[in-house]
Structure 1
Amino acid sequence: MLTEFEAYLQMHGLPGEAIHRISGLATRRTLRRNEFLFRTGEICRHKVFVLKGLLRTYNTTPDGNEHILQFSPEHSWTLDVESYDRQVPSLAGIGAIEHSELLLWHKPDFNTLLAEVPQLKIFADQLIARNVHQSRHRILTALSATPEEKYEDFVRTFPGLLSRLPLRMIASYLGISLKTLNRVRHAQLQRS
């Protein structure tokens, strides 16, 4: 019987031998709600796959404002790319919003997998391309969309996260104040 992660890899076209090799080098880790995978200033040393739960990648400014860069729900990959690639202190931290179960690969192990498993390299390249496209869309939305358009885009992109996230985190992700988000949501309810 395949584990959930192995079924995920199989669904993405990886063969059984490759799946066994990839799974064999993973380490399981559980994070409690509000526990950190790593904090700003620490080095990101792992590729991370979220089996269950929900993580956020964020930065906190010196005056205490939190800026959420990314949400990572189950069946998604996450890391701080710059910190991981260059092995330098991270400008962002990753923490659990919910109790989360993770699979982690140390950088040297994952690099070995990429060299030994061509199908994983192809899959990883596809994930990177998709993340670049999503990041570009997010930047353009952040720069040019109204608060209403930002919220509508969030609802379309992450319909399953609305009930799992506090409004303050959604506002932080959208780059708007909680007051503005409440106004937008109220106006949307009035139109419905």
Structure 2
Amino acid sequence: MNVTPIIDYFNRIVSLTEEEETLIREKVIYRRYLKDQYLVQQGDVCKHISFIVKGCAKQFYASPDGLEHILMFAIEDWWASDMGSFITQTPADYNVQCIEQTELIQLNHIDLEELFLKIPKLERCFRKITERSLVASQKRIVRNFSKTAKERYLFFKENYPTIESRIPQYMLASYLGITKEFLSRIKSQIAKEDKS
């Protein structure tokens, strides 16, 4: 299986030697998941971090009343996991589920820790990935408090232009924190504004 995409990704952040690339290739696993299959379920320990080669996944919290609260989507060149569960090896707070048939490159917790010891720059690479993720998450919280639903939708559309066409509208509505009916009204309003 071709694991070059994850090597290329790491090389965009830090420069790996051929020997380091070989060490990584020995530890990663290439896997295919079907649409609707879970990478991790709430309550289970997240055993792998997953780098998406092809496909789309969602991370969500399922509340006791059965509602899905979507926190993020992940597409090609993105990571998908419950990072809190993976780092601490404790039960996951979130589900990660494939929206499309998805191809992944995975690393388990023990192998990643071993790679950090052998390739210290890889630990720096993951620190940068985690920092970016934290910043994006904090900015999203602020947007949810300070922006209207329409502004949040327009931000999503502008910043993640390839995702909207790949996900059902009810999932996008959940991510935005609104109903799918309200999202339809927002889109109709924008369409009218664009015509005038």
Under a length normalisation based on structure 2, what TM-score does the superposition of the two structures give?
Answer: 0.92
Which letter does structure 2 place at the counterpart of 1:84? F
Which residue is equivalent to 2:23?
21
- Say which SS state the counterpart of residue 105 (structure 1) adopts: strand
Compared with structure 1, are the counterparts of its residues 169 and 118 closer, same or farther at alpha carbon in structure 2 (3 Å cutoff)? same
Which letter does structure 1 place at the counterpart of 2:10? L
- Say which SS state the counterpart of residue 29 (structure 1) adopts: strand
1:140 aligns with 2:131: no
Contact 1:47 1:110 in 2 (8 A): no
Alignment of 1:41-120 (within 5 A): 41-120=43-122
Which letter does structure 2 place at the counterpart of 1:169? M
Task: State the number of aligned residues.
Answer: 192
How far off its partner does 1:48 sit? 1.2
Which letter does structure 1 place at the counterpart of 2:72? Q
Deviations 1:118-158 (A, max 9, x none): 22111111111111110011000111210111101111221
Contact 1:9 1:19 in 2 (8 A): no
User: Which segments of 5 or more consecutive residues in structure 1 lack a partner in the other structure?
Assistant: none
Which letter does structure 2 place at the counterpart of 1:90? A
CA distance in 2, matches of 1:128, 1:2: 21
Deviations 1:90-115 (A, max 9, x none): 11111100000111111011011112
Contact 2:50 2:104 in 1 (8 A): yes
Cα RMSD for the two superposed structures: 1.5
Contact 2:69 2:174 in 1 (8 A): yes
Contact 2:35 2:98 in 1 (8 A): yes
Runs of 4+ in 1 over 4 A off after TM superposition: none
- Say which SS state the counterpart of residue 159 (structure 1) adopts: coil
CA distance in 2, matches of 1:7, 1:86: 27
Identity across matched positions, percent = 29
